[in-house]
C-alpha cells in the first residue's frame, strides 16, 4: 500500500457497526482517519486494529453527539484541518418506544444526534471541502425515509431529513468537485436494534443485511457517482420512476389560486 494519504476521513459512530466498517474500508482506500464515538475504549480498539492492519494514521475523538458543544468542537476541527477530505455522517440512534410513550429527553436526544449533529458537521465539511476544491460527504439515512408508516415515526422522520438534506446539498454543490452521497440501508444487523429495545432477529431472515455487505454496496454506488444509494433495491428504475413522478409534480405545487378540489362552495 502506498504511504501517500488521500486525506483525512472523519467517521462518526465509528466504534461499531456501519461506522467501524466504513473506517476499515476508507483506511484500505488510503485515507487517514479521525474516528468519533462516545466509547473511548471501543474507539481505541478499532483505531489500534486499523492502524496495525493498514499502516494509516488513525486518531480518535471521543464525543457525545447529543452535546452541542462537543459537536461544535468537532466541526471546528473539520473546518480547520487542511487535510480533511471526507465525512461519513453515520452516528444515529433509534427511539425506544413511540413519540407518545418516550420521555421528552429521549425525543430531544434523537433529534440532536440524528439531525442537529449531522447538519452542523455537514456545514463544516462543506465549507472545508469548498476551500479544498474536492472531497465527499456521505450520510447514512434509511429506507424508512421513504416508508415512514412502517416504523417508529420520529426515527423515520429524522432519516427523511437526512435524505432531504443530502439531496439538497448535492444540488448546491453540483458545479463543484465535492461529492455528496446519501445511503439508505434497510434493516441491517447492528447494535441499534438492541439499544432501542428491539430484536433484529424478529424480522424475516431475508430482510436483514450484514454490515459488510451494506458498506461494500454503498461504495459501489459511491464509485458509480450516485447521490442516493439504496443497497437492497434491485431495480434502479423503481427509484428513477419515483423521482420522475416527484419532479413532474413540483411545478404544480405553488399556485396563486386554490386548487378546485379545495374551493369553498356557496
For residue 102, tell me if it sits in a domain. yes
Segment 67-102, tens digit of pLDDT: 999 999 999 999 999 999 999 999 999 988 899 999
2 in any annotated domain: no
Provide the total of helices (H) and of strands (E) in the chain, helices listed first: 9, 7
Domain of 222, CATH number, reads 3.40.50.720
What amino acid positions are annotated as catalytic residues?
Answer: 155
Q: What is the number of domains present in the chain?
A: 1
pLDDT in tens, 196-245: 666 677 777 777 889 999 999 999 999 999 999 999 999 999 999 999 99
Whether 1 is covered by a domain: the verdict is no
pTM: 0.93
In this prediction, residue 1 carries a pLDDT of: 41
8 Å CB contact between 120 and 99: no
| Lookup result for grid cell 481505541 | 44
- Provide CB contacts within 8 A for 92, sequence distance 6+: 13, 113, 114, 140, 158, 159, 192
pLDDT at position 38 over 90: yes
Find the domain containing 102 and state its range. Answer: 8-262
Amino acid at each position: 500500500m502506498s504511504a501517500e494519504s488521500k486525506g483525512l476521513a472523519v467517521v462518526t459512530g465509528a466504534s461499531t457497526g456501519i461506522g467501524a466498517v466504513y473506517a476499515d474500508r476508507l483506511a484500505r482506500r488510503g485515507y487517514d482517519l479521525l474516528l468519533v464515538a462516545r466509547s473511548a475504549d471501543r474507539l481505541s480498539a478499532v483505531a489500534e486494529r486499523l492502524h496495525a492492519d493498514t499502516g494509516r494514521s488513525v486518531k480518535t475523538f471521543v464525543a457525545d453527539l447529543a452535546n452541542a458543544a462537543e459537536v461544535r468542537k468537532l466541526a471546528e476541527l473539520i473546518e480547520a484541518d487542511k487535510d480533511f477530505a471526507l465525512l461519513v455522517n453515520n452516528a444515529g440512534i433509534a427511539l425506544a418506544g413511540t413519540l407518545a410513550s418516550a420521555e421528552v429527553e429521549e425525543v430531544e436526544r434523537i433529534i440532536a444526534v440524528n439531525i442537529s449533529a449531522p447538519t452542523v458537521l455537514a456545514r463544516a465539511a462543506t465549507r472545508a471541502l469548498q476551500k479544498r476544491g474536492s472531497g465527499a460527504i456521505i450520510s447514512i439515512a434509511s429506507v424508512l425515509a421513504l416508508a415512514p408508516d412502517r416504523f417508529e415515526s420520529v426515527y423515520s422522520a429524522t432519516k427523511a431529513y437526512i435524505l432531504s438534506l443530502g439531496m439538497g446539498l448535492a444540488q448546491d454543490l453540483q458545479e463543484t468537485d465535492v461529492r455528496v452521497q446519501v445511503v439508505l440501508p434497510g434493516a441491517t444487523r447492528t447494535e441499534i436494534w438492541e439499544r432501542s429495545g428491539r430484536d433484529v432477529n424478529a424480522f424475516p431472515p431475508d430482510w436483514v443485511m450484514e454490515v459488510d455487505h451494506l458498506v461494500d454496496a454503498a461504495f459501489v454506488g459511491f464509485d458509480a457517482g450516485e447521490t442516493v444509494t439504496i443497497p437492497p433495491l434491485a431495480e434502479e428504475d423503481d427509484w428513477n420512476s419515483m423521482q420522475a413522478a416527484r419532479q413532474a409534480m413540483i411545478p404544480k405545487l405553488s399556485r396563486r389560486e386554490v386548487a378546485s378540489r379545495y374551493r369553498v362552495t356557496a
